[in-house]
Amino acid sequence: MNWNRAFTDLIRNGRPSYWGNWTLSPKLTPGAVGIITPDTGDFTLVKEATPGVTVSSRTVPNQWKLSSNNVHRTETNVNLDGSGTDPDTGTKVKAGVEVKWEFASVGSIASEFGIASEAYISDLTTLTKPDTLKWLAEQAQSVSMGSGGHISQGFGVVTSTVFAHSGLNVGSQDTSSSFSLTGSASAIHDMLGGVNGRGSFLSATQNKSVDQHLWPFKAEEIAASPIPIAYTVASFDGSLLIPNWITRLGAFEIYFNNKPGCTYVTQIKLAYDTPQGKRNDEFSLSGGISKTVGNIPLNATNIHVDVKFKGVMNDDHYAFNWPSPLGQWLTGRREIEMTGVWPGSTHAREL
């Protein structure tokens, strides 16, 4: 089971360009340089910082709560024996809470944190300045991820990081496993969603096998500093910056999906700019026939598509524009769905 891959997939339901940091590695800060394996999201650090970049910070919603569908969470009041101390208040804890996560199946995940902030590289164009690009190419070559001034996809720079005061990642390695945290109500609630960084716990227990990463990782302690839990990466194709890199891209492609049952003839015009000049393509699709246009180069900009449905009296036109597809198309692919039964209404939409 690759936990980081599963965690990343869960995060991308709401944050499509992010990678997960399942093990809570402290190295994943903005400006860090390394190799990211797209199949797993594992990050191998090469250099801790990129020269010349400026990092800024912004506040984000403070509660982070993700879980697989078959995770059951309960919270109950418990009486404690007073032998544990709340590290924030210094008082002995007699009345507390237990938060318990029950996992029905192997591979289920619960992730809860109190978010501190998101730090990010203020200006990504810094990465394409000649001196910075030269330095990055040298680092890439030193780990066989580039040569001759060119950088291979998968070598990149961490561009933003979500930091948490405290929290946990827990994954089930067994069916019907469970994990629970016990402590004072305020400390446990702070740990799982607080904004003041005072979260802690008195004890952690598990039933059957789970993979767990806690912050703070010791009982009766407060975390000394925030920890990265998710991040974004910029990579390169040669010297071409890919701002939000989540997978290897060969070329852009557009799938023109003439839905079964569509009886219109559609006329498609495609145009885009490249450093070598403007490119144009034009073709017709009869009802129910679909087509993929591939091999659009990664350095293409201002991609424009015009879809025309041929009517009796008038034609219906639909236009689609992507000024910067390298920043907008995370997977390198777009789909345009076309429907309509002649001579009725028509529809074309981007999926």
Per residue in 1-57, pLDDT (tens digit) is 899 999 999 999 999 999 999 999 999 999 999 999 999 889 999 999 999 999 999
Q: What is residue 82's predicted lDDT score, i.e. its pLDDT?
A: 79
Q: What is residue 311's predicted lDDT score, i.e. its pLDDT?
A: 81
Q: Which domain holds residue 49?
A: 3-242
Q: Is residue 82 part of a domain?
A: yes
Q: Which CATH number do you get for residue 285?
A: 2.60.40.1430
- How far apart are alpha carbons 25 and 38 in whole angstroms? 17
Q: Which of these, 189, 186, 221, 190, lies nearest to 203 by C-alpha position?
A: 221
Q: Is residue 264 part of a domain?
A: yes
Query: Which residue's structure tokens are 């709401």?
Result: 14
The average confidence (pLDDT) of the chain is 94
My answer on whether 39 and 123 are in the same domain is yes
* Residue 68: C-alpha distances to residues 6, 152, 162 (Å): 10, 34, 20
My answer on whether 70 and 143 are in the same domain is yes
- Select the more confidently predicted residue: 125 or 343: 125
Q: What is residue 227's predicted lDDT score, i.e. its pLDDT?
A: 97
pLDDT value at 159 more than 80? yes
Are the CB atoms for 227 and 24 separated by under 8 Å?
Answer: yes
Question: In the chain, pLDDT over 90 holds for what percent of residues?
Answer: 83
Q: Domain total for the chain?
A: 2
Q: What is the pLDDT of residues 281-335, one digit of tens each?
A: 999 998 888 999 999 999 999 999 999 998 877 889 999 999 999 988 999 999 9
Per DSSP, helices labelled H in the chain are 3-11, 130-142, 185-191, 325-328
Which distant-in-sequence residues (6+ apart) come within 8 Å of 273 by Cβ? Answer: 279, 300, 301, 302
My answer on whether 262 and 146 are in the same domain is no
My answer on whether 11 and 149 are in the same domain is yes
Q: What is residue 342's predicted lDDT score, i.e. its pLDDT?
A: 86
Task: List, in sequence order, every residue forming a beta bridge with 121; answer none if it has no partner.
Answer: 55
My answer on whether 298 and 178 are in the same domain is no
Q: Which of these, 169, 181, 214, lies nearest to 64 by C-alpha position?
A: 169
My answer on whether 96 and 237 are in the same domain is yes
My answer on whether 296 and 322 are in the same domain is yes
Q: What is residue 1's predicted lDDT score, i.e. its pLDDT?
A: 83
Q: What is residue 313's predicted lDDT score, i.e. its pLDDT?
A: 73
Q: What are the φ and ψ backbone dihedral angles of 19, each rounded to 5 degrees?
A: -110, 150
My answer on whether 238 and 263 are in the same domain is no
- How far apart are alpha carbons 158 and 231 in whole angstroms? 7
| End-to-end CA, the chain | 31
Q: Is residue 21 part of a domain?
A: yes
Per DSSP, helices labelled H in 161-282 are 185-191
Lowest mean pLDDT of 164-173, 185-194, 206-215, 257-266, name the range: 257-266
My answer on whether 228 and 287 are in the same domain is no
SS3 142: helix
Q: Is residue 285 part of a domain?
A: yes
Out of 242, 270, 289, a domain closes at 242
My answer on whether 160 and 300 are in the same domain is no
pLDDT category of residue 84 using cuts at 50, 70 and 90: confident
Out of 194, 221, 242, a domain closes at 242
pLDDT category of residue 261 using cuts at 50, 70 and 90: confident
Q: Which of these, 250, 303, 294, lies nearest to 274 by C-alpha position?
A: 303
Q: Is residue 247 part of a domain?
A: no
Out of 221, 242, 263, a domain closes at 242
My answer on whether 22 and 142 are in the same domain is yes
- Select the more confidently predicted residue: 63 or 99: 99
My answer on whether 207 and 329 are in the same domain is no
Q: What is the pLDDT of residues 180-238, one digit of tens each?
A: 999 999 999 999 998 888 999 999 999 999 999 999 999 999 999 999 999 999 999 99
